[in-house]
A and B are shown apart, each in its own frame.
Chain A
Amino acid sequence: MSYIKCVFHYTGAKQVLSGANIKSLFFKESSVVLHALLIVVVVAILIGVDLRYNSLGGVRSVLDTMATPIYWIADLPGRIMEWGDEHTRSRGSLLQENEKLRRENLVLSGRSQRMAALRAENARLRALLNSAALLRSDVLVAELLGVSPDPALHQLVLNKGARQGVFLGQPLIDNDGLMGQIVRVSEFSSRALLLTDATHSTPVQINRNGVRAIAEGSGRLGLLEIRHVSATTDIEVGDLLVTSGLGGRFPIGYPVAIVNQVERDPGQAFATVTAQPSSSLDRSRHVLLVFTAEQPE
């Protein structure tokens, strides 16, 4: 009996030896290279399909839903800091802030009184001109879960998803102006592309005279490039650019950027125009998702 046990013990030990130690000493390199090549081919096809055909929407939405908890955990320290900050404020500073907010509220409600009258007048005038009535838009407040860790991408992750009615292409604003649009929706979170991303373009018009243009993202935060503005166009430093509503993606009239540089070179067909986004793209923690009348159901 003890002999058999001993043999078992011996073969067990041999197995452990050949299983772990020997294997880690002599690794089959050629088979690994084959496997790696196989993976690289599969991944190259994956990249091609995702880039060229953009047909992985459903899969990505499921994967994004699975990734949401990681964003939530990564955001936790910031959230705790904020909570701690809110709960350890002195009474004095709270009172002060309360007072400031009350004053601000008074000013805003004063302004909105005038808005009501103006809106009614605007509706009457539009009716006289036989143009379509501007529909009121509703908003959804969303909170930032994270920003894209890749500096090449200007993307935000928001804590509202398909469950809350967020849809693809939905405009995103903060209290100062347009921020971007939703490019990917998962169940409980969504991903927004900012105006300044190198792949984003916004149809705008100059608020002063209605000249239309396209504001392209530069890949740098705080800089938009207005391309193909002819050298004779009436555009000046300080002009406010608002959404033109062309293209049907963004509702008309939201502030986008302020022109901060105009260079007219007589040798060039187009002026070099840059603008600074009005919204605080890297500071806003709470953002608004706009629902317009033409939203796809």
Chain B
Amino acid sequence: MSREQHGYWVVLGTFLIAYVLATMPFPAWLHRARPEWLALVLIYWAIALPHRVGVYTGALLGIGLDVLEGVVLGQNALSLTVLSLISLFLYQRLRVFNLWQQCATVFIMIGINQILCQWVLALQGLGDRSLWFLLPAFTSALFWPVILHLLRGLRRAYQVN
């Protein structure tokens, strides 16, 4: 049994780092372009370990992000649950996609994530009237190759499975 759970702390560690990156102070002019680090890391692990990282992981991580961002409890939980569900549906295809196809898919997935967040913000009368809220989806897709190579390296080095 212990063989199956190998390297769990690596997964946890990457999620913690994603949290730190998500709260890192950002220059004001880049504020709206901040990539969704946690969503990217979640997508990677859901593709790589679909039998371990699933909807419950997404929901719990989302609650954590809600607390960090100070938004309504459940906003990111909702969007990350849906995101992990989509990843679980697509993981077989995503594994065989080339990098460009993967980036495009990640753009759409994080775009859906952003739209769900906007819905919850709109319930409170907040949020954007323009389409600028999709900018993080674009920057996240740009960072996907980096995340992919880093996390794949980590997964192989520590034999996470």
Q: Do A and B come from one complex?
A: yes
Q: Which residues of A contact B (CB under 8 A)?
A: 16, 19-20, 23-24, 27, 29, 32-33, 35-36, 39-40, 43-44, 46-47, 50-51, 56, 59-60, 63-64, 66-67, 70-71, 73-75, 77-78, 146-153, 155, 157, 184, 191, 198-199, 219, 221, 282
CB proximity of A183 to chain B, nearest CB, Å: 8
CA distance A128 to B20 in the complex (A): 58
Task: Determine the main DSSP class of B at the interface with A.
Answer: helix
Task: Collect the chain B residues with CB atoms within 8 Å of residue A29's CB.
Answer: 88-89
Q: Give B126's nearest chain A residue, CB to CB.
A: A152
> What size tier do the contact residues of chain B reach?
35 or more
CA distance A43 to B72 in the complex (A): 11
CB proximity of B115 to chain A, nearest CB, Å: 14
Q: Which residues of B contact A (CB under 8 A)?
A: 3-4, 16, 19-26, 28, 31-32, 34, 49-51, 54-56, 59, 62-64, 67-75, 77-78, 81-82, 85, 88-89, 91, 120-121, 123-128, 161
CA distance A60 to B69 in the complex (A): 12
Task: Collect the chain B residues with CB atoms within 8 Å of residue A152's CB.
Answer: 121, 126-128
Contact across chains for B74 and A67 when beta carbons are under 8 A apart: no
Contact across chains for A44 and B128 when beta carbons are under 8 A apart: no
Contact across chains for A221 and B28 when beta carbons are under 8 A apart: yes
A51-B72, A149-B26, A153-B69 known; A43+B81 contact, CB < 8 A? yes
Instruction: Choose among A24, A43, A219 the residue with the greatest number of B CB atoms under 10 Å from its CB.
Output: A43
Task: Collect the chain B residues with CB atoms within 8 Å of residue A150's CB.
Answer: 69-71
CA distance A194 to B17 in the complex (A): 28
Contact across chains for A199 and B126 when beta carbons are under 8 A apart: yes
Task: Collect the chain A residues with CB atoms within 8 Å of residue B20's CB.
Answer: 70, 73-74
Task: Collect the chain A residues with CB atoms within 8 Å of residue B22's CB.
Answer: 149
Task: For A63, give its contact among B16, B67, B72 (CB under 8 Å).
Answer: B67
Contact across chains for B56 and A149 when beta carbons are under 8 A apart: no
